[in-house]
């Protein structure tokens, strides 16, 4: 989905990256079709799934990241998946230094796949940015920290849960999927454009992937359409690679290891 990649994803919420596409993009895709909603499919993930990533800042290896389903928590009496995404690293060049540490977490109702809580802690250039949202699907509102409740949307999702939601829906090359479900109404609709297929070398093997272009209007990461997410073209829909822009340049997360749920 967004505050900074979470500043990858939460910046992977507010910082997503431009990047060069690796692999072999299949040409001759059909002209884009357009749909306004996406049906549910059986969830391809479960508790204790864990993926680790190498992170590059441009061409320079800069750190590591993770994407996990930590388990099932209880939020206001509801069973909820607990998703976590982390990103840490930096570069120290002669004329430029860049450091980032980011953790995003999302709690999503296991029955309805709607967001109940979203948090982000981001350390950027020595400064901490912290966000905490409580989300109330039953009354279509959310609360930012200790503030008053604000209007939300039906069946809300957040910056991180949107990535997991994308793993549950049919993705047809050439299609454009509107998802009017970001819990902040100004971010809607989130758009997923399915732009092609590529083969990616990662985690010691080759992956056939579906390439998705996310567009999130209020995200510094995906707002310009330059970001890309590569999902495995199989039943697991693992995120194999993710490219997003940083405040300067771009960041790439590439799968290093994947541990499915036991």
State the pLDDT at residue 239.
97
In this prediction, residues 52-74 reach a mean pLDDT of 91
Supply the pTM of this predicted model. 0.80
User: Cα–Cα–Cα angle for 238, 240, 245, nearest 5°?
Assistant: 125
For the segment 163-173, the average pLDDT, to the nearest whole number, is: 96
Residue predicted with more confidence, 38 or 241: 241
Kindly report which listed range (40-44, 142-146, 241-245) carries the lowest average pLDDT score. Answer: 40-44
Does 207 or 219 have the greater pLDDT score?
Answer: 207
pLDDT at 41: 39
Quickly list H helices, the chain: 6-9, 161-166
What values do phi and psi take at 230, rounded to 5? Answer: -105, 115
Mean pLDDT over 215-219 rounds to 83
238 within 8 A of 261, measured Cβ to Cβ: no
Per-residue confidence band for 104, with pLDDT thresholds at 50, 70 and 90:
very high
Cα 216 to Cα 97, 154, 187, distances in angstroms: 28, 18, 6
Q: Are strands 175-179 and 33-35 parallel, antiparallel or unpaired?
A: parallel
Q: How confident is the model at residue 248 (pLDDT cuts 50, 70, 90)?
A: low
């Amino acid at each position: 989905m967004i505050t900074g990649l979470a500043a990858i994803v939460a910046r992977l919420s507010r910082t997503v990256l431009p990047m060069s596409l690796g692999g072999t993009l299949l040409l001759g895709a059909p002209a884009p079709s357009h749909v306004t909603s996406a049906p549910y499919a059986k969830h391809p993930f479960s508790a204790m799934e864990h993926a680790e990533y190498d992170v590059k800042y441009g061409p320079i290896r800069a750190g590591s990241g993770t994407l996990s389903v930590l388990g099932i928590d209880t939020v206001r009496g509801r069973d909820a998946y607990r998703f976590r995404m982390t990103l840490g690293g930096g570069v120290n060049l002669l004329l430029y230094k860049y450091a980032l540490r980011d953790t995003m977490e999302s709690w999503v109702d296991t029955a309805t796949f709607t967001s109940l809580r979203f948090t982000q802690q981001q350390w950027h250039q020595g400064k901490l940015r912290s966000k905490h949202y409580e989300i109330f699907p039953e009354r279509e509102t959310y609360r930012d920290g200790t503030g008053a409740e604000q209007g939300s949307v039906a069946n809300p999702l957040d910056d991180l849960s949107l990535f997991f939601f994308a793993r549950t829906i049919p993705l047809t090359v050439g299609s454009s999927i509107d998802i009017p479900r970001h819990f902040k109404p100004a971010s809607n609709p989130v758009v997923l454009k399915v732009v092609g297929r590529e083969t990616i070398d990662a985690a010691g093997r080759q992956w056939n992937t579906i390439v998705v272009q996310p567009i999130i209007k209020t995200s510094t990461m995906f707002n310009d359409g330059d970001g890309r997410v590569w999902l495995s073209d199989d039943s697991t829909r693992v995120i194999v690679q993710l490219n997003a822009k940083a405040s300067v340049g771009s960041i790439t997360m590439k799968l290093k290891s994947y541990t499915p749920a036991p």
